[in-house]
């Protein structure tokens, strides 16, 4: 069987040992770290994402698959660096103030890394100042904000306002997401886009870099 | 006036208690947990289906919704002949307790709430853990002893039996990821708690405390809060107030969709 498919299957079952074993086999076979990351790990995570949307798997399955993906990317990171794979951009991701949900955010981080971004995880319950200071310090191309509660959604708008006041808004591609967030809401608060899932977030972020470089 | 109520089963005890003197109201409960489905449109579809069923069976003047915004699962609901009535709150917790009463001692962002209805009819990470590790039987048997002939269904066989089973260690890790940020479990008392509920609170608390300790996370506490169902009462007896409690209730006329997001999410 195709080693990349075996890797994807192992990730989907959340089997960390199998994922590590298959990565090593793939490397021995001469596959590049980048290819293993994209065609093996990311591919498996995308399938889990699709199944989640169709209620074929639930949060527990997503969590164990994500854990396996993390283990896989940790193994590949040093090799990717050796191979000279440069980051296509930098992204900052955080869950807004008073919100302690991070499962979705962590998936976005994974998919962004898979897409070639350097990602700085700001964690959860990030204050407005927390976001502003991080943008000043890290100078990312992409800012992602997550909110799972309707009570914390307004903070996204406040962060964008604060960024405008600080003169930092224009250099950023701002993505927002989370279960109660919508395209309408993203428009209302002046974000660049609403990403309905982690894969979409990575796609939009990647496209934003491409169009910037054109 | 023909009234009907469609409500989340987490509110079962309080709604039954408030409506026991009423003999002309149709009440339908839907399972707790609809807001956890992968898309808010799925929750909306299930409630809409119930609204449509009720409208086919009788010409109700008002259909009361026992929900909050609930991650927007109620946004866009519509009845054709009836008016829909809903409280302008983010979720059911505001229908069970007055958060203002506790804002100095409870940090709502890291508190997990329980109530009689939540324990008897709802799911929570502890029950999910027991289900993943095939240990539900013990709790179900305690539960049956307490419940005897009372109506309940939290252990919804179908939902929990379909849960994938995991090794103990993995199930603990999964549960840890879901509860790692809780600092408080708050049991809401609306004058309807028994020893059984306190025992459940303590069992869940001990489990989470042990789990957090394994991951060197800071401690969790528990608390019992005096509930407040005044908003729920205003909702069910909305016609008693001439102004229909304009600040608390939203009434959508026949054919009009519920638009709660605009009212609750201020920008």
Q: Which of B37, B264, B267 sits opposite A55 (nearest CB)?
A: B37
pLDDT at B96: 98
CA distances from B264 to A3, A102, A148, B50 (A): 51, 23, 15, 25
Q: Is pLDDT above 70 for B153?
A: no
Give the model's confidence band at B71: pLDDT under 50 very low, under 70 low, under 90 confident, else very high.
very high
**How buried is B109 (Cβ within 10 angstroms: 0-12 exposed, 13-18 middle, 19+ buried)?**
middle
Give the model's confidence band at A108: pLDDT under 50 very low, under 70 low, under 90 confident, else very high.
very high
Q: pLDDT by residue (tens digit) across A185-197? A: 999 999 999 999 9
Report the chain B residue with the minimal C-alpha distance to residue A59: B174
pLDDT at B146: 83
pLDDT at B97: 97
Q: Which of A61, A125, A150 sits opposite B164 (nearest CB)?
A: A61
Give the model's confidence band at B136: pLDDT under 50 very low, under 70 low, under 90 confident, else very high.
confident
CA distance A37 to chain B (A): 24
Residue in this structure with the two tokens 């976001």, named with its chain if needed = A131
Which tokens belong to A174?
Answer: 């701002």
pLDDT at B229: 97
pLDDT at B154: 62
pLDDT at A99: 95
Work out the percent of chain B whose per-residue pLDDT is above 70.
Answer: 93
Q: What's this model's pTM, rounded to 2 decimal places? A: 0.93
Q: pLDDT by residue (tens digit) across A33-61? A: 999 999 999 999 999 999 998 888 989 99
CA distance B201 to A138: 44
Q: pLDDT by residue (tens digit) across B173-194? A: 999 999 999 999 999 999 999 9
Report the chain B residue with the minimal C-alpha distance to residue A186: B267
pLDDT at A124: 96
Q: With beta carbons under 8 A apart, name residues in chain B contacting A64.
A: 166, 170, 174
pLDDT at A213: 77
User: What mean pLDDT do residues B111-130 have?
Assistant: 93
Weakest-pLDDT range from A122-136, B109-123, B198-212, B230-244: B230-244
- SS3 label, residue B64: strand
User: What mean pLDDT do residues A88-95 have?
Assistant: 97
Q: Is pLDDT above 90 for B142?
A: no
Q: Is pLDDT above 90 for B159?
A: no
Contact criterion met (CB below 8 Å) for B101 and B228: yes
Contact criterion met (CB below 8 Å) for B219 and B56: no
Q: Is pLDDT above 70 for B244?
A: no
Q: Is pLDDT above 80 for B150?
A: no
Q: With beta carbons under 8 A apart, name residues in chain A contacting B39.
A: 53
pLDDT at A1: 66
User: What mean pLDDT do residues B69-73 have?
Assistant: 96
Q: Is pLDDT above 90 for A74?
A: yes
Q: Which residues of A lie closer than 8 Å to B, measured between beta carbons?
A: 14, 52-55, 58-61, 63-64, 67, 98-100, 103, 124-125, 148-151, 153-154, 157, 179-180, 182, 185, 188-189
Q: With beta carbons under 8 A apart, name residues in chain B contacting A63.
A: 173-174, 177
Report the chain A residue with the minimal C-alpha distance to residue B110: A100
Measured on CA atoms in the order B28, B29, B35, B38, is the torsion positive or negative?
negative
Mean pLDDT over all residues of chain A?
95
Q: Is pLDDT above 90 for B77?
A: yes
CA distance A55 to A106: 20
pLDDT at A203: 96
Q: Is pLDDT above 70 for B245?
A: no
CA distance A118 to chain B (A): 24
């Amino acid at each position: 069987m195709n080693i990349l498919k075996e890797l994807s299957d192992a990730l989907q079952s959340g089997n960390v040992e199998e994922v590590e074993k298959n990565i090593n086999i793939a490397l021995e076979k001469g596959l590049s770290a980048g290819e293993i990351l994209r065609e093996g790990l990311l591919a498996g995570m995308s399938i889990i994402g699709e199944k989640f949307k169709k209620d074929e798997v639930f949060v527990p399955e997503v969590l164990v698959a994500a854990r396996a993906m993390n283990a896989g990317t940790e193994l590949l990171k040093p090799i990717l660096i050796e191979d000279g794979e440069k980051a296509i951009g930098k992204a900052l991701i955080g869950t807004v103030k008073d919100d302690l949900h991070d499962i979705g955010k962590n998936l976005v981080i994974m998919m962004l890394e898979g897409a070639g971004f350097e990602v700085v995880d700001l964690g959860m319950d990030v204050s407005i100042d927390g976001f502003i200071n991080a943008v000043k310090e890290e100078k990312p191309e992409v800012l992602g904000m997550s909110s799972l509660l309707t009570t914390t959604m307004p903070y996204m708008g406040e962060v964008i306002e604060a960024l405008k006041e600080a003169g930092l808004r224009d250099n950023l591609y701002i993505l927002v997401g989370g279960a109660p967030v919508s395209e309408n809401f993203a428009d209302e608060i002046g974000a660049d886009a609403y990403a309905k899932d982690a894969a979409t977030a990575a796609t939009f972020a990647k496209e934003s870099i491409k169009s910037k470089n054109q | 006036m023909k009234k009907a109520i469609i409500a989340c089963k987490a509110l079962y005890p309080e709604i039954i208690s408030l409506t026991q003197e009423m003999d002309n109201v149709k009440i339908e409960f839907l399972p707790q947990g609809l807001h956890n489905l992968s898309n808010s449109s799925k929750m909306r579809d299930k409630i809409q289906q119930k609204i449509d069923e009720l409208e086919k069976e009788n010409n109700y003047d008002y259909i009361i919704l026992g929900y909050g915004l609930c991650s927007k699962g109620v946004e866009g609901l519509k009845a054709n002949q009836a008016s829909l009535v809903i409280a302008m709150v983010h979720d059911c917790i505001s229908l069970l307790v007055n958060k203002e009463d506790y804002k100095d001692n409870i940090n709502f962002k890291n508190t997990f709430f329980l109530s009689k209805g939540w324990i008897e009819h709802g799911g929570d990470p502890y029950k999910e853990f027991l289900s993943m590790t095939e240990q539900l039987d013990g709790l179900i048997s305690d539960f049956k002893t307490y419940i005897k002939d009372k109506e309940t269904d939290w252990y919804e066989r179908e939902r929990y039996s379909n849960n994938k089973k995991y090794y103990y260690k993995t199930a603990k890790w999964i549960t840890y990821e879901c509860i790692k940020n809780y600092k408080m479990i708050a049991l809401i008392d609306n004058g309807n708690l028994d020893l059984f509920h306190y025992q459940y609170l303590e069992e869940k608390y001990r489990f989470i405390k042990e789990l957090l300790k394994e991951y060197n996370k800071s401690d969790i506490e528990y608390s019992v809060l005096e509930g407040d169902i005044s908003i729920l009462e205003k909702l069910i007896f909305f016609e008693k107030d001439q102004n229909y409690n304009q600040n608390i209730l939203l009434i959508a006329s026949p054919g009009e969709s519920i638009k709660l997001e605009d009212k609750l999410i201020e920008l």
